[in-house]
Structure formats: C-alpha cells, structure tokens
Chain A
C-alpha cells in the first residue's frame, strides 16, 4: 500500500514540460541560454531564496530575498510572426515546477475529456511569467515563490513534511484555508490567501488562453467571416429579450 501510494504521488508530482504547447525552437533556445547562464536558469530553490525558516510560527509569511532577474526582455521590435518563445531563461527549479503543477491541477483538474492545467503546459507559462524581466512579473515572482515556500512551511508545521509529499486530503486541508478569501479568513491565512488569489488568476489565464482553454470557455471568434458580420444568433437575441424584460428595459 505504502509503495503504491508513493508511486502515485511520484507520478502525479513530477511535472513534465510540454513541448507541444509552443514550437520546439523555444526549447532549443531556452536550453542554449540556460547552458550559458547556469546561475540564472535552473537555480536551486534555496540558493535562489533566503527563507527565514527559523521563525515559522502562526501567521508566518516567508521573507524572501530574491535575486533580481536581470535578463533582457523581447525588446521594442520583436518578430511578431515568428517569435512565440520568450528570450529570457526560465528560472523555476524542478522542485518548484512540481509544486506549481500540483497547485495548477488543484485549480484546474482534468474534467472528463478536458485536460488539466498541467496537461496543457500551464506550469511552463507560469515559469515564463515569473522569470520575465518585467516589473509586474517580478512582483508576481515574489508572490508566487513566497506562496510555494509558505505551503511547505505550513505542511512542515502541520504534518512535518513538504506540501508535495502530503496526501491529497492533507493538501486540501491546507488549501481550503487559503482558497476562500471572501469568507472571514483567519489573520494567519490572509497573506497566503491573497497570494493564492493572484496565483489562481495566473493559472486560469494560462489555462483558458491555451487552445484547450479557448474551446472550453466557448470562445467562437478568431475565424474569418465572408460577407457581413452576422451579429447575435436568434438564441442570443431571445435571451436578451428575457434580460430586457427582467430588468424592465423593454420598450413600453
């Protein structure tokens, strides 16, 4: 039983990057950059962050000192047709990426035939995002990396092991405390809840902007139409009439 479970955890927790999401050139490029800049890409979790582990207590929030991402952006005149990859190196460690993937799949699990977040490469998008040399992304980097550290700290405190090694039930017991910020969150979870909300929006964006996500949400545009724009369908107009009626906006 125990072995079985470990295997399952292993299977679930090792995120494999998705070469299919974008063209494979991206990976060749990322690899060549990372081999040149080993200190930026693939840096160790603890080398990259200095965690005040000594002070883990109720209401803990890691005080990370992150090294600045100093790589170049894509510049003022990138090739908009050919460039589908970022020129900057990804920076998440395998350990971080696995946790990112686990959380992404908690947020967007497989649903019947619709793949989960990690199945459509969401962790790669998160990695690209938090590794980008732009201000907003650098802020999100601190938020996301702090959340990852917090989850491990919290798991250590409750169950004396890292988050990724917990049973699903125990993982959810922690996530349930930070996933509902609209409820009267306990003080000790406020920062983690805020961070989780930001992370949730990132994962949702990364999922729904994928081909699978566009289809899942029902987006019907992006298709050339011959002739005039057809406008709302009959069904959409019928629904509008109901709405107008409910809101008291029908022509009198």
Chain B
C-alpha cells in the first residue's frame, strides 16, 4: 500500500463517484478553492470522441436492439454497466425481484439519463406531516429554492413556469425556452383537458441556448447515446472539465473503493481502493470523505466499513443505512391512435424525448380523501415519427405492397403513457451485505429485499385507468382488459430512481445524515448522492441530487474555510 502522490497534489477532500452528486460536489468545492481527489470505479470516458452521434439504428448490430450487453440498445451511452456488471454481482432475497442499474464510467449514469429535471415542492418535502407516512425532509422548500435556481442555471434546463401546484416556479430568467410540442402531444393535451387534467412542457436538462462551452441542442440523435456537443447535460462535458480547469481536481478512474477507513478513535481518515487494472490496494488519507457512489453503492460501502467504533458499519448507529430504499413506481399503457393514421409527416425528433408531460393533478383530491393512495405520479408521453429500428409498431397481416401500406398507416400513430410515481418507504424494501458473496475485488456484495405495498399498487391501478381514459378520448380502441397492478408494476429498481438508503433527517436516531448530508456519526464524512433522500417524489431524482450536492458542498466549503482560518490564526498567535 502506498500514499497517492501526496507531495504533488495536496487534496483535502476525497469524492467517491463522478456522477450527478460527486461531480457537483467536486465542481462546487474546486470553484471555492478546495482541492479534491475524485475516485471513479469505472473507466475514463470522453463524450466528445466516444458518443455515437447521427448513427442509424440499422447500421448497428441487431438494428441496435437491446441485449444483455447493452440493455438499452447498442448505442446507449452506458459503458461496462447495465443491469449486470461483469465481476460485480448483487443478490436478492428469495421472492425478491429487484434490478440494480450501474454504469462503470466517468460521469456515471449522467451519461445516459433521461434529463427530466422537475423540482420537488414543499408538498413533496412534507409528506409525513400531511399523511403520516414515510419521512419529512429536514428543510423547507424555500431553503432549497435558491439552490434549485443555481443548479438549473448551471446545468441548463429547458421548460417553462406553469403555476401548477405540482411544479414550483423557477426564478425569472433561469429556464431556457422549451421546444414546441409535437402533434401527438397536442392531441394528448386536448384529450387530457377534457378529463380535467393539464399537461405541461417537460423540464429537461437540455440546452436550447448555448452555455459555457456547450452548444444548444440541434434536435437530432438520441440523448441516451450521450451528447458530444454538450447540449444534453452530463457531468463529463460540464462539471468535471470545469472542475479540472480550476486546477483543483484530480481524478483516478478504475478505482473501486473498498472501505472508508477510521482511526483508533473512530474518526474517518480516508479510504481504501482497489485499482481494477492491476488489483493493487491503495490507502488514501483525506480530511473529508464525500460518498456519491450512488445510493446503494454508498450504503454498501458504509455497511462494509465496519470497525471497533462502528460495528454495524460506518455512520450506522441509527441502523438506517441500507433501509428505506425507494424507487419510482413504473407502469404504462400505449395504444394505436387511428385518427393519427396518415397524418402529414414532418421531423418529430425534437430533443428526442417528450416535449410535453402530464404532471400530478390529484393533490386536491388526495387532500379530500378521494383517492385510495397517498402519493402522486406523472405521465411521460412517448410518441412521434421515430427512426425505424428493430421493432416495427403495428398488427400486421399479409405481405407485399399491401403490407408496406399497413406499416406506413401505423407509422407515428402510437402513443404510450409511462407512469412514474412516488413510492413510500416500507420495512420490506432494503439492502444488506451478502456475507457469502464477494465481487472480483474482494468486496462483499449487496443483497436486496423488495415488496411493493398497497400504496404503490393502488396508485398504479389508478394510473392505468387514467391512461386508458386519456387514450380512449383520443379515439383509441383498447379491447384487452387492463392488467392487474401487481402485473403492471415494473420491478423495484427498474426505473433507476433508487434513493433513501442513507436518508437525511432531523435526528440521529432515525436518519443517517443531517440536512447537509453530513453523517451524524462522523463529522468529516458526507453522503451526496440520492441515498440522502428522505422521500422519493415522482419527479425523477437527478436535479435534486445535484441541487443538494451543490448546497451541501457549499456548506462544507465554508466550513473548511473557517477551519483553515482558525488554524491560520493559531499559527499567527
């Protein structure tokens, strides 16, 4: 074991992970003049040279269809990851279905994420106060609102203020203009309106105006492939190069952190990592350690960092590490809309995702007790004249010219509504360490437990009925009965919004960190990924991960400055 270039680069803070949380923490600290060493378990990754821009599906192996090697299709940006990472298994309790998406690459999952960037509201932060379920967050919306502004401005989010109760406004001048709605989205809007349901422009971390070194979107090529021009936000084209440019950031890739290390008094003194290339084990000292390895990876790391002072794992005196895991609920319903058949074709690529979505509209009904589930959901809308790939939409018969005609009549007529809803934490959804199985690096693996509660199932049932009603208003003929919610709901982890494994709170008794992501047990150990979420509102977690990381790293930076001043004044005295 050896110390890392101690003499050349005198970092104060180690950040584990380079995705949304880690990169924002590193960016914020380095901008404030603090030196940061970032450890990334995957390989280096450069979207400028590696992104398959303007590649046709038909030119890829298997028409770019998803496989176990590339779950979301050949061109998906995810490197060395997916539902399975070679040499890094995870296990599930008997009867548990759970999927854990990991990306082993610089920038982590920000390279391929959906870029949906919706703010949580006061309503979202105080669910327990309202209905007695789950946990409240340890701050108010107004504490976090200015940080949402700063994050949205830095990241670049397109959308508009709608005034809807599910969508808190951004300050003036923060949001970039959203792209125009497409025809099927306008049809959904008209149909939903008849049911008293409003649609809104989706907020997405996609530039419609240039920013820093990043270009505005040119409305072609799927964001999920990554974005070489930097329009679709990923940390590898923004926060990481910007942090590097300060001279205060160094990154070690292929560095799989094995443990967070403590001294004889139980104080965090650094981390130990395995170099995946040569299996060398290295101990790195640090004044402060920030975990941002993803909710479940950070929890795994804490649980694997046992010591005399922390026998149940580090920062786990509450016993809450690995508990309270929440994903978003996922389900969906789609249909062929006959009225869209033969509509005039134009370029519907847009920013390659929905320009319009359906925010949660049921707050008032829930307040009146009219719904049998406590938390909301939204619908994402999938539609359009998409680039043909390995799947052709439609029910066909026959052959020849008449068959081709059928394909053309179906083209651009499909509308799919994807439900994404809030899940409540429950005692059956958690992770622990599987002591029997280690990954290639000798690290015991995570074992997942999962069971949906009636809150999620009732919500999904409501969502399916609503989706059917909207589609039927659009003229769809849905003959098959709706599936049961138990069948329709996607597996735990499948929406890739797993959060809550190191939740923040007001008290060390039932939470792992305070509102700044500082662990109650170790003042120089922070968590800045989605593990700290106290609840999991239906609105996609990444914007809030980044917002919290910016706020909390700013708080840490000030603390480090104060400590430095104290040391300085001591020296001078």
Q: A: which residues have CB within 8 A of B?
A: 22, 73-78, 80-81, 83-86, 106-109, 111, 125, 128-129, 132, 134-137, 175, 179-183, 197, 200-201, 204-206, 208-211, 213-214, 216-226, 228-233, 235-237, 239-240, 243-244, 246-247, 249-250
Contacts and interface: CB of A to CB of B under 8 A. Distances in A.
B179 A229 contact: yes
Contacts, number: 225
B208 A228 contact: yes
Contacts of A247: 190-191, 339, 473-475
B62 interface: yes
Interface stretch (B127-135, B180-188, B422-430, B530-538): B180-188
B60 interface: yes
- 3 residue pairs, one from A and one from B, having the closest CB atoms: A231-B180, A209-B58, A221-B349
Contact of A214 (B56, B181, B475): B56
Interface of B: 43, 49-52, 54-63, 65, 67-70, 74-75, 79-82, 85-86, 177, 179-183, 186-187, 190-191, 193-194, 208, 217-221, 225, 339-340, 343-351, 385-392, 395-401, 403-404, 407-408, 411, 473-475
Nearest to B105: A77
Contacts of B396: 197, 200-201, 204
A208 B392 contact: yes
A76 B69 contact: yes
Contacts of A208: 388, 392, 407
A180 B397 contact: yes
Contacts of A22: 59
B564 to A, nearest CB: 42
B79 A77 contact: yes
B345 A218 contact: yes
B389 A221 contact: no
A179 B403 CA distance: 10
A220 B183 contact: no
B351 A209 contact: no
Contacts of A74: 61, 67, 69-70, 74
Contacts of B343: 236, 239-240, 243
B219 A237 contact: no
Contacts of A244: 187, 190
Nearest to A111: B401
Given A200-B399, A247-B339, A240 B411 contact: no
A136 B71 CA distance: 12
Contacts of A243: 187, 339-340, 343
A216 B75 CA distance: 24
A14 to B, nearest CB: 21
B220 A225 contact: yes
B219 A225 contact: yes
B258 to A, nearest CB: 22
Contact of B473 (A109, A132, A246, A249): A249
Nearest to B69: A73
A81 B75 CA distance: 9
A213 B388 contact: yes
Contacts of B389: 205, 209
Nearest to B403: A107
Nearest to A244: B190
A223 B220 contact: yes
Nearest to B396: A200
A132 B351 CA distance: 32
Nearest to B225: A80
Given A210-B58, A220-B346, A224-B219, A109 B401 contact: yes
Contact of B397 (A111, A182, A235, A246): A182
Nearest to A224: B218
A204 B60 CA distance: 16
Contacts of B208: 228
B551 to A, nearest CB: 32
Contacts of B408: 217-218
B57 to A, nearest CB: 5
